Amino acid sequence: MPVLVMKFGGTSVANLDRIRRVAKRVGVEVAKGYDVIVIVSAMSGKTNELVGWVNETSPLYDAREYDAVVSSGENITAGLMALTLQEMDVPARSWQGWQVPLMTTSAHGQARIEEIPTKNINEKFGEGMRVAVVAGFQGISPEGRITTLGRGGSDTTAVAFAAAFDAERCDIYTDVDGVYTTDPRICEKARKLDRISFEEMLELASLGAKVLQTRSVELAMRYKVKLRVLSSFEEQSDEAGTLVCDEEDIMESNVVSGVAYSRDEAKMTLQSVADRPGIAATIFTALSDGGVNVDMIVQNISDEGRTDMTFSCPTDQVARAEQALLAIKEQGELNYAELIADTDVAKVSVVGIGMRSQSGVAAKMFKVLSDEGINIKVITTSEIKISVLIDRKYMELAVQALHDAFELDQAA
Ligand code: ADP
Ligand code: ASP
Ligand code: MG
C-alpha cells in the first residue's frame, strides 16, 4: 500500500483534544488506503521545560544525559496518539527511535540521521498495522545511547522517514497554514506562499524561520521528497498549504522572496588579539572543539599589531564559548584583553534566488534600516541572502520595514 508521512508539531498535539482532532485526520488518510507513518513532537512547551530542567541541574551538562531527558517529551505523545487511534479502531502502535531503530551519529544534541531500516515497521504493516506512530526528534547512536536531532528535529525525522519508505508525500502539520514571506506572528502583512524553492526554504530555515528545521529541507532536496507545510487547525484540501519544490516548478518569483530573523544570537568580541597568521585558526578551532557553532565573523583593522575579532553564536552557547576561549588563554595559546558578550542582538536576513541576477539589494536593505535609525553591527552575505546583526529591540521593526520595502505583500 502507498505510504504517507504526517508530522504533527507541538501545538497540534498540545492536549488530548488536539490529539483526538489530528488522529481523525490520520483516520481519513487510512480510510483512503494509505499506510501512515505519523511523526509526533512533544506537547507544546514540554521540550522547553525539559531543557530548562537540564540547564538548572547542570549548566555545562553532559550532552548524553541532556538527550536522555529532552527526548522523553515525544515518547508521551507517541503513546497517547497510538492509544487515541486504537480507540478509533485504527490498528496503530507507537515506536520510539531505538525500536525502529533510527540510527544517528553520536553528536548528542545535534545528531544526524545515518540510517532508517524499514524492516521492523514494514513487518508490522504486513501484519495489519495501519499507522506507525513514531516519536520524532530522537534516535540511537552507535554506542547505543539515545540521541536528539537538534531543536525542531521532528521535521527532519518526518522527511527522513518519507525518504526511507518512499512515501507519496510528507505533510508537516503545524500552527500556521503554510510558509509565509516572513513570520506571520510578527508581520501582519506576511503573505502565504503556494510554493517555495528548496534553496530559498533552506536559507530561510537556516536563518531562523523555524517553520521547518534546516536539515529537513536538505534531506527533502536530496531525496526528492514531496514536502508540504499545512495547518492542523483548518479543513484541508489537496492544494492546501505550501509545497516546497524545485526552482523550475515555480512561476512567480520576487527578487527577495522572504525575510527571516533569529533572536537567539549573541555577538562576542575578543579584544586585542595579536594580528598574525594562525590566530584565527587557534580561536575558531577552540570554539569548534568546544561545540560552539560560529556564524558571522569579522576582524577589525589592526592597530600596532593587535586587532579585535568579533563573531556570533547562538545565545545558549555563550557559556561554552567563554569556557573554550578562557581555556586556551590559560594554556598560553591565545592572549586577549577581554571577551565581551552582547546578548541583546538579533539577526535579520533577506533571502531570494533573484539576487543572483539582480544587484542593489544590499544597498536597499541598508538604506531601509538607516531610514528607521537602526544601526548595523555585523553584515554577512551569500549568493542568495544578506544578513545583518542589529539591536534586538529593533528586530520586529526591521522585519516589517524590509517586508514593506521589498513589497513582499504582493506577488510578483
Ligand atoms: P511546530 O511546533 O508545529 O513544529 P514551530 O513553532 O516549530 O511549529 O514552527 C511554526 C512557527 O514558525 C509558526 O508559528 C511561525 O511563528 C514560525 N515562522 C517563522 N517564520 C515563518 C515563515 N516564514 N512562515 C511560516 N511560519 C514561520
Ligand atoms: N520537541 C522538539 C523541539 O521542541 C522537536 C520538535 O518539536 O521538532 O525542538
Ligand atoms: Mg518545529
Query: How many other CB atoms are found less than 10 A from the CB of residue 302?
Result: 13
Identify whether residues 170 and 25 lie together within a single domain: yes
Which helix (H) or strand (E) is 136 found in, with range?
none
Cα–Cα distance, 327 to 330 (Å, whole number): 5
Q: Scanning the structure block, which residue is given the C-alpha cell 487515541? A: 84
pLDDT(238) > 80: no
Cβ-Cβ contacts under 8 Å for 190 (sequence gap 6 or more): 180, 181, 182, 183, 184, 403, 408, 409
How confident is the model over 225-244, as a mean pLDDT? 88
pLDDT in tens, 18-56: 999 999 999 999 999 999 999 999 999 999 999 999 999
**157 CA: nearest ligand 2 atom:** 8
Show which of 150, 174, 198 is a domain's final residue.
174
Cis peptide before 101 (omega within 30 of 0): yes
Contact 172, 186 (CB under 8 A): no
256: left (phi over 0), alpha (psi -120 to 50) or beta: beta
pLDDT(163) > 80: yes
CA of 111 to the centre of ligand 2 (A): 14
Q: Across the chain, what does the average pLDDT equal?
A: 95
In CATH, what number is assigned to the domain containing residue 149? 3.40.1160.10
User: First and final CA of the chain: distance in angstroms?
Assistant: 40
- Does any domain span residue 354? yes
- Does any domain span residue 54? yes
- Does any domain span residue 355? yes
pLDDT score recorded for residue 252: 67
Cα–Cα distance, 407 to 208 (Å, whole number): 21
- Does any domain span residue 142? yes
- Does any domain span residue 115? yes
Instruction: Quote the number of domains for the chain.
Output: 2
Query: Is the CB of residue 45 below 6 angstroms from any atom belonging to ligand 1?
Result: no
Show which of 174, 197, 221 is a domain's final residue.
174
Q: Scanning the structure block, which residue is given the C-alpha cell 521545560? A: 49
Grid coordinates of 197: 524553492
> Which ligand has an atom closest to residue 210 CA?
1
Q: Which domain holds residue 79?
A: 3-174
pLDDT(399) > 80: yes
Beta pairing class for 92-95 and 131-135: parallel
Mutate to test the pocket of ligand 1, among 211, 264, 400 (most ligand atoms within 8 A of CB): 211
CA of 154 to the centre of ligand 2 (A): 6
Identify whether residues 40 and 141 lie together within a single domain: yes
Query: Is the CB of residue 241 below 6 angstroms from any atom belonging to ligand 1?
Result: no
Identify whether residues 140 and 47 lie together within a single domain: yes
- Does any domain span residue 371? yes
Atom 8 of ligand 2: nearest residue by CA position: 152
In CATH, what number is assigned to the domain containing residue 314? 3.30.2130.10
Query: Is the CB of residue 153 below 6 angstroms from any atom belonging to ligand 1?
Result: no
> Which ligand has an atom closest to residue 150 CA?
2
Question: Residues within the annotated binding site for substrate?
Answer: 47, 74
- AA letter at 403: H
- With b for 16 or more beta-carbon neighbours within 10 A and e for fewer, the 261-270 pattern comes to bbebbbbbbb
Contact 153, 9 (CB under 8 A): no
Length of the chain: 412
Distances (CA, A) of 351 to 205, 214, 260, 356: 10, 14, 8, 11
pLDDT(219) > 80: yes
pLDDT(171) > 70: yes
